[in-house]
Amino acid sequence: MPVLYTEDKNKERENRYAKGPDKFDKPLVVLINGKSASASEIFAGAIQDYKTGTIVGTTSFGKGIVQQVIPLTDGTAVKLTVSKYYTPKGRNIHGTGIVPDVEVELADELKQMVTIPTEKDNQLQKAIEILKEQIDNIK
């Protein structure tokens, strides 16, 4: 099963697979927000596509492109978009992001804090609640 694939302007597709033979089969909740980008979005998208966990938080940033830096002879460089990332089920998240399964906005009074105490973090607490439900469903 691919974790993601990329596709260039010529529709050349390259599948990317997880390394290792084991499938993760434990309860899983992934927290995302508007600062979750690129690889973390692809991870969350794969979890969502394969229904192996629950995505909690707010919509991610939406960076679904692959860029390559090409050095120039004068010491500068050009950054080019060379392909797009897609989730295993073919979703390109560029510009739209991953929409969580359970939408939980961070409480306003916590948004300016550098470090949020665990017991006050309403997104984390919701994720823990869901995780406990998943564990209870196994028993």
Catalytic residue among 36, 40, 60, 63: 63
Catalytic residue among 40, 49, 121, 126: 49
Q: What CATH number has the domain bearing residue 19?
A: 3.90.226.10
In a domain, 100, yes or no: yes
63 has catalytic annotation: yes
In a domain, 132, yes or no: no
In a domain, 98, yes or no: yes
pLDDT in tens, 85-106: 999 999 999 999 999 999 999 9
In a domain, 113, yes or no: no
Q: What is the reported pTM?
A: 0.88
Nearest CA to 36 among 14, 6, 56?
Answer: 56
Nearest-angstrom CA–CA distance, 100 and 30: 9
> Does position 20 have pLDDT exceeding 80, yes or no?
no
In a domain, 110, yes or no: no
In a domain, 121, yes or no: no
As for how many domains the chain has, the answer is 1
Burial 22-61 (b: 16+ CB within 10 A, else e): eeeeebebbbbbeebbbebbbbbbbbbbeeebbbbbbbbb
Mean pLDDT value across residues 44-61: 96
49 has catalytic annotation: yes
In a domain, 34, yes or no: yes
In a domain, 138, yes or no: no
38 has catalytic annotation: yes
Query: What domain range includes position 10?
Result: 2-104
- Please report how many Cα atoms fall inside a 13 Å half-sphere around the Cα of residue 96, on the Cβ side: 10
